[in-house]
Amino acid sequence: MEIDLLIPCFIDQLYPDTGWKVLQLLEKAGCVVHYNPEQTCCGQALYNSGHRDQARELAIKFLNDFSGNRPVVCPSASCAGFIRNYYDGLLVGTIFLSAYRKIQPKIYELTDFLVNVLHYTESGAHLNAKVTYHDACAALREYGLKDEARVLLKQVKGLELIEMDESTTCCGFGGTFSVKHEPISVAMAARKVENALATGAEYIISTEMSCLMHLETYIQQKELNIKCLHIADVLTSGDREIENLQNHTP
> For position 169, what pLDDT does the model report?
87
β-pairing verdict for 203-206 and 227-230: parallel
Contact between 71 and 117 (Cβ < 8 Å): yes
| pLDDT tens figures, 80-109 | 999 999 999 999 999 999 999 999 999 999
**How far, CA to CA in Å, does 19 sit from each of 54, 103, 142?**
26, 22, 23
**Nearest in space to 104 (alpha carbons), one of 149, 59, 57:** 59
> Which residues of the chain fall short of a pLDDT of 50?
239, 248, 250
CA dist 64 and 58 (Å) reads 10
List the chain domain ranges: 2-117, 126-247
CA dist 172 and 136 (Å) reads 10
> For position 250, what pLDDT does the model report?
41
> For position 24, what pLDDT does the model report?
96
pTM for the whole thing? 0.90
CATH 3.40.50.11810 fits domain 126-247: yes
> For position 150, what pLDDT does the model report?
96
CA 225 to chain centre: 23
**How far, CA to CA in Å, does 217 sit from each of 16, 58, 223?**
18, 29, 10
| pLDDT tens figures, 44-75 | 989 988 999 999 999 999 999 998 899 999 99
Contact between 170 and 184 (Cβ < 8 Å): no
DSSP alpha helix (H) spans, the chain: 9-14, 16-28, 44-48, 52-65, 77-91, 97-103, 110-112, 137, 148-153, 177-180, 182-198, 209-222, 231-236, 239-247
